[in-house]
Structure formats: C-alpha cells, structure tokens
Structure 1
C-alpha cells in the first residue's frame, strides 16, 4: 500500500460495534431523529448560532410531531419509549447542537417530568398532552443568580395569603424561559411543611416576566432567560402536591442528566466524524493529513474515549430500563461524557487548524456549547464529590 492509498474508513460507532448493541426499536428512534436533524435542523445551525435566534415553536411542533417531547413518559399523549431510546434521541439531537437537545431535555425531562412525577391529575391532564405535541412549551425555574450548585439556599419565596400562594424571587439561566407557556418554579415556603415546594406557573400570570439573556458565547442556538416573579399570585392548586423538599427538583435534574450523558457524546461523535472526513481530504506536503502518525494517534485516543463513554451510557440506559439506576451512577456518566466530549472537541479543532474556528465546520460550535454542558446540571466538581462520597462514605461538599 502506498502512502496515498487508503482503505475505507470506519466511524467510531462502527469501531465499537455500537449498532449491534441496539434493539430494532432503538434503531428506529435513532434513525428517525437523525433524519429529522438532517432535514430540519442542520441546514440552519450556522445561521441560528450566528444570530443567537432559534424558532422554538416551529421546532417544538416538529419534535412533538414525531413523539420526541416527553417520549420516555407513559400516557398523556407521550410515546412511552424506553430510557435507552430516549438517550439515543438525545445523542442525535446533540450531534446536531447542544441547544437543540436542551430544548427537548428541558421540555421532557424537567418541565414535563416534574408534572408527571409530582403533579396532581388535574395538572397532568391540563399540561402534559399539549406539551407532548409541542403546542405548549415549558421551562424549569430552579437556578438563581447566586444559587446554582447549592439550590437549597434559594431566595425565591412562596408565602400563604388565604388560600393562595404569593411567589417572589428571581431565577437565572432558564432554557426556553421567554418562549414558555408554563414554568415549574421552585421556592422556599414559610407556611408549608418540607420547605422547598414546586409550583406550576402559567407565564400569563400577572407579576411573571422572563427577559431573554443575550450576549452568550455558548448555547447560542437556544433561548436562555431570567425569570422574575413579583408578587405572583397562584391558587393552592398550583402547588405540585407530591414534591416536598429539595429531593423533588433534584430528582428532576437526575432525570435530565441521564439525557445529557448520551447528548454530550453525540456532540463528540459529530466532532470526530467531521474531523476524520476532513483529515482524509486535507493535503499536507503531498499526503493526506490522515496518513500521518500524530494525526492517527490523536484520533485513536479520541475514538477510545468516545467509545468507552458510549458503552457506559448504554449500560446506564439498560440499568434505568430495569429500574436499577441510582443517582450516583448518573453522576458517573455525566462526569465522564461531558469531560471527554469537550476534550474531544478541543482536540478535533487542532486537527482542523484555522478551519476549525469557523462556523463552516461544527467543531468549535460544539466546543463552545460543551463549556455549558460541562457545568450545568452539576459541575464536574460536584459530580466528583458525589462519587467521592460513595467511594469513601464521607461527604466533602463543604
């Protein structure tokens, strides 16, 4: 074989035999979402990222039309798929863009899941069918300007006034906030047991506003907002009856982190596939860049990190489908996937050289997005401490 000749290349998924580990139903989900991204999303990503604007309602309708929204929930118009199938959908969504996956994750695994898991039957009937189709969009108000990794210190308050609740406070970094129809807001209560409680807040309620946050360098193909609650009056029926204390919102975050595991690896896969195609075509001193040893060692290491992450993700998916997945195991996956994905994106950028900093290629867009994925829904350090506590028996968060 001459230096300029080459055998057909394998994708990282082919190298690890990922497809052979999936059921027929899971393959259908993967291909459906992959085709949807190719048709309705990928052609527009450069424009959306550059402008910082995204047609959320049109996308929500398209995603609801194929059953993506709340797809792993049962009933109320939801598709009722397996957890692994949902993970694979997140994988394909984030292979397009992290912001696209965030739209679906916040809708299904945060806003819809909170109502599904903790809501009254009336709340479920009112919101879940419309959210499943994309007619109604939800957001999830937990993080505050000064309380991210320590949500238990939140300053948002819910105070009794007769049979009503009055909510006052501010939430920050809320995906879908300014385009939502309903927000799940978590607040400290002074007149109810168990402290923190969740409320279903229609955004048309007087005193509620959601100014959009601009000037982002990450997740630009995503709507991010502040939530401002100024004496928002809600009936008693707005409270999520089954959520008492911090365990409620934290269980929602665990649900969303599961999708992030698969999603971050989708961004890594797209970086790898883009880079492999690029170095095979890029000529350097009369040889393809792919034919140099240093290029191949970089690709080999990245493919290994990606493949191990996918095997872990699929293992966690099987555990979740069996009802055996524990929160600390989700931390294993979130820590590994987000950390390895951003390392892969950065390394791929070096192989693309100057082309890697343009929007013509998706690699730096993925890298910028993964800066947010690395820190939201539990920073790497928080997940390290969760795992450390499990390994040693000692809590070292303070």
Structure 2
C-alpha cells in the first residue's frame, strides 16, 4: 500500500497537499534534500516513495546505522550514470562522520537527493554539516480519519491490498483500529493484515473481523469507543480538564483508561503540559516532580510505571492552580505578532565589537551586580511598550503569592512609583 504518487500519501497535507512545499518542489522539478522527522508509521518513507514515483527518479533506501559506506558508493555510482537518485536514509541521526563526509559532495552536486528519516529531533541529534544542506520538515501522527481512510482503501484495493478477500470489518473494530495505534498507520495496516490472514472463514466463506479479533492483532485493548472515532482524544481531553478542575477521582479514572490502552506517550506529554499550564507558578516544585515521575515511568515501563504516574496525577489535582505563565507568554506573543515591539534600548544593545561605543550601543548600561542587592533601576522594554504588563500574578498558592509581591515591588521600583 506504499503510495507511488503524492496524491496517495495519507495525512501530512501541510507538506504534500496542493500548493504546499513538497508538492511545489515536485511540480517545479526543483527537489532539494530534506529531513523528515516524526513518530514511527506517520509517512516518512511513504513521502519519499511518492516523491520518487511522482518524479520518475530512481529510488533507493538505506539505513544510516546498518548500511556501510560501500552501500552509499553504489548509490553514488548509480547517480553518476542515471543522473539523479532519490536516497531515503533511515535513522539519519545515526550517520557517522565517514559516511557523512562521503555524502556531502554528492548532495552539493545534486546527483543524490537525500531524504533523511528520523524519530529524533534533528536540531539536537543530526550533525550541522548535514542539517545545513537540507530542509527540515516535521511529520505528525495521523488522525483517526486519516487511518480510517487508509484502512478502507486497503480493504478495497485488489492489487496491493485485501480487495480480493471477502472481508467484513465491524464498525466498532474499524473505529478501534483507527485510534488504537496512536497515529501509526503502519501498525494499523499490519494489524489489519494479520487479522485477515489469521481469521478462519465462516460457513459462507467470509472473513468476519470483530473488535476482539482486532484487539488481539494489535495487542491493545479498547478502552472506549464512539462512532466518530474521537474517544481516544476525548479521554485525553477529559484527563486534562479533570486535573485542571481538581477532581482527583475523575483524573485517576481517565489515567487508568490511558494505561489500559498502553498509551504512555500521551500520558507523559499531557501530564507535563498540565503541570506547567494549569499548575505552573502556583506550585513550581510540582512541575519538577511531574517530570521526575514521567522519567521514572518511562524507565519502569508499564504496568509498574502506573505508580509514579498516579502520584503525579494526585499531586497535580490537589495543588493550587495558576495559568499566569501561559497567559503572560501568549499576551507577549500576540504583541510581537501584531508589530508591537520597538527598538531594543541602546544601553542594552550588544557592545562586544569594535565601534559599538561610537554607535551608542551598550553605553550607560548599569551592571546590576555593581549595585546594592544586585539590582538597579533601568529601562529594559522598548520605549514603545515600556509600561506594558504581561505577567498578571494570581494569589493561588504560597509560591505565586510571593512571586506576585516581588513582581509588584520591582515594577514600582523600576518605574520610580510608590506601591
């Protein structure tokens, strides 16, 4: 079911949709090397295959960890003979210096169009020499609708799919299959194929796939369903809202549903967001303890990981709440995007170069550590917004009460006004 042209790619329409960047590259026949990064089964290899199919270039696939420099040399020789080869290099974050040095001149010449695939953040894990010669595109987990469409296509496709099989897939089973793999299409299709090939035909010669069969084949249990396939995301939403609303029992219930589904990734991500968005400055130590609980759960795995996760959920539920952090940064972002910025004051500008003083940069800057209590009043915001308040302290919890008092004292001292 691997797509042979861009129109067949499931999801990732921000890259391959009409008028989007990869689509434009292919139509203009101006391909450049790129790195695709994101979770497994979300379409990295499919996009590379579709680019090759749409451009009619030769397509080769290697693994940076297991294939050798000699394998790269074979691809380079083919590129010299045929003109251009699209090379999908899986696990590109594992590329060593010897292979990298061999590849670089071929990327420069354009004979090899490199499409690197990785689940690791390329800004952290990929060598700058490769990174600077590629465009970096993020791919995202597929939606249940994306996966449901791909399942329907696989069931109908007589050439590459299961179209010749007399399969009937129950609606509840289809819904579960489209949500249980957390956006991983490869796992969903593997589960579907295993179910189809391992289920005996009934008396009428049909293969009837039910929810228990699909659960068995993807090795996950259904924790809830609805006809639109939104149950998984509804549970995650209810999980966060229950913690935000300080309902410990409800939060533990939704945590249990996510644990039964084996979705440690969603639990970890959501808990960390909750800690900083909903508790935040009202109880900063809870944020650090939540991260520690997540790391412990990841080290332990499930089911033991349920213990630190439950501790974190209970603490976050019972902690005072404050969203002043997210509100402050979102207000500042809105100003910047609206053009409310202004010039950096001259005394704050970089003065680490010859001639800066002649421009007035860094002149009259007051170094706080030279003053009593390591603080001195001076203007930091641009003139245009010098009296702007972004942080609006809340009075929930001893930490933010203290932060708020200090913020107000400093603001009034900075502006030479009385509290």
Q: Give the TM-score normalised by structure 1.
A: 0.25
Higher relative contact order (CA 8 A, sep 6+): 1
Which of these two proteins has the greater Rg computed from alpha carbons?
Answer: 2
Higher strand share: 1
